[in-house]
Homo-oligomer: A and B are copies of this chain.
Amino acid sequence: MSATVDTLPERLLLGSGPSPVPEPVLHALARPTLGHLDPAFGEVMDEIGDLLRAAFVTENEVAFPISGTGSAGMEAMVANLIEPGERVVCGVHGLFGERMADELARHGADVVRVEAEWGRAIDPQALIDAVAAGPAPAALFVVHGETSTGVAQPLDGLADAIHDRDGLLLVDCVTSLTGHPLRLDEAGVDAAFSGSQKCLNAPPGLAPFTVGARALEKLRARKTRVPSWYFDLNLILAYVNAEGARTYHHTAPTNMNVALREALRIAVVDEWLATRWERHRRAHEALRSAFDALGMPRLAPEGEALHPLLAVRVPDGIDEAAVRRALLLEHDIEISGGLGPLAGKVWRIGVMGVGAQREPQEALITAVAAELGHDTGEALVALADGWSA
């Protein structure tokens, strides 16, 4: 017999996501359900658009949440902006780049992979060279925040390179949005997707999404129909961007959107975005120092770390899965293990939104030290020093 609603456990979510959802967001989530065509809900959607523009740092007219999880945002991007036979340069330096390469292939793209080992960023010059070589690519895709490795991908020079060839710059910022510096317009990004359950601290189920003018132009110039009805932007925009005359497409997840609006308000109104980025950086560095003191160094080298996700190496001889299980079941703290080639070798720790604070990190460090049989002293001092630095 599974737990009833009121006996479900309460976990401190410090894994790769979902992240902790603060009480005001849960409260918003549980408001009485509104209809998707109710003008009051229309205003919520409009405000989400404004808040997303602030979060993405863009003036794109189109900014709204896809009605699915982050991966649905990836699929919406490809289904709308890539046509069969088009050449796409795809950066692969972790699971989410692999996933995109798979998605592109399913949509008939000619995928040119540019790789880096898991745990490193891709040299931007390698991406630029791939874009410049051979027939003009329709797009260049990179994962800005690689959740599988805790690496942030520099975007320098990418927009110029792909725009010179009349292609689009497409970016996955699922884990980086509002937690790691990213200004879409400044970086020349033409379309991006994210997830509600990372630095925004909303529950999983929505994928913040934005496309700029260049991408919309490509959508309008398609030779083939968008192969997905559910993700067809032509249909969705008649609902989302319709200034008071919304045409029904699908039934928007209204409760989830009311919650997302609240999460976005907390992220970009209650806290200045630059302050928020800086808080995530400090939180990352403090936690990193603490794990260093526990003998678990960061996977990403200096200068390549993704602040909202700290991946640390687990020393040989530790049954990492057993320790994670104990953290979850004995301490009610969730962290994540490694994926793919990093399975069994790293832990992935979320530093996301309200999780990027000293108190939850202290709880985590204390529990990890207890499970590993370490003294907590040095690690907690390192954490405290990090926060007062």
Residues in chain B near residue A13, CB distance under 8 A:
33, 35
Across the interface, do A33 and B20 meet the contact criterion of CB distance under 8 Å? yes
CA distance A71 to B253 in the complex (A): 12
CB-CB < 8 A to A24: which residues of B?
A: 5
A33: which B residues are within 8 A, CB to CB? 13, 18, 20-21, 26, 197, 203-204
A24, A68, A102, A258: which has the most chain B beta carbons within 10 Å? Answer: A68
Chain A binding surface, main DSSP class:
loop
Which of A121-129, A159-167, A227-235, A298-306 participates in binding chain B?
A: A227-235
* Complex Cα spacing A99 to B229, Å: 8
Q: Which residue of B lies closest to A66 (CB)?
A: B68
- Known interface pairs A43-B2, A250-B72; A15-B27 also in contact (CB < 8 Å): no
Question: In residues 177-226 of chain A, which contact B (Cβ within 8 Å)?
Answer: 195, 197, 203-205, 225-226
A37: chain B residues within 8 A (beta carbon) = 336
Q: Does A36 contact B (CB under 8 A)?
A: yes
Q: Which residues of B contact A336 (CB under 8 A)?
A: 37
A residues bordering B, Cβ < 8 Å? 2-3, 5, 8-11, 13, 15, 17-18, 20-21, 24, 26-40, 43-44, 46-47, 67-72, 74-75, 99, 102-103, 105-107, 195, 197, 203-205, 225-230, 248-256, 258, 262, 328-329, 334, 336, 339
Contact status A253-B250, CB under 8 Å: no
26 sampled A-B residue pairs with Cβ under 8 A: A2-B44, A5-B24, A5-B262, A8-B40, A9-B40, A10-B32, A11-B34, A15-B35, A18-B33, A18-B36, A20-B33, A33-B197, A35-B334, A69-B253, A71-B229, A71-B230, A71-B249, A71-B250, A71-B251, A74-B229, A74-B230, A105-B225, A195-B251, A204-B253, A205-B253, A248-B339
- Which residue of B205, B251, B258 contacts A256 across the interface (Cβ within 8 Å)? B205
Most chain B CB inside 10 Å of its own CB: which residue of A3, A34, A229: A229
A106 touches B255 (CB 8 A): no
| 11 more A-B residue pairs beyond the given contacts A15-B35, A29-B30, with a C-beta to C-beta distance below 8 A | A2-B40, A8-B258, A18-B35, A18-B36, A18-B251, A26-B30, A29-B255, A69-B251, A204-B251, A205-B256, A248-B339
Q: How far is the CB of A4 from chain B (nearest CB, A)?
A: 9
Residues from chain B with a CB closer than 8 A to the CB of A227 are 106-107, 227
Return A17 CB to nearest CB of chain B, in Å: 6
Determine which of B11, B21, B106, B248 lies in contact with A226 in the assembled complex, contact meaning CB atoms within 8 Å.
Answer: B106
Which chain B residues border A249 with CB–CB below 8 Å?
71
Option from B2, B32, B103 in Cβ contact (under 8 Å) with A11? B32
Distance between Cα atoms of A328 and B258 in the complex (Å): 19
Min CB gap A234→B, angstroms? 12
A37 to B15: give the CA distance in the assembly, Å.
10
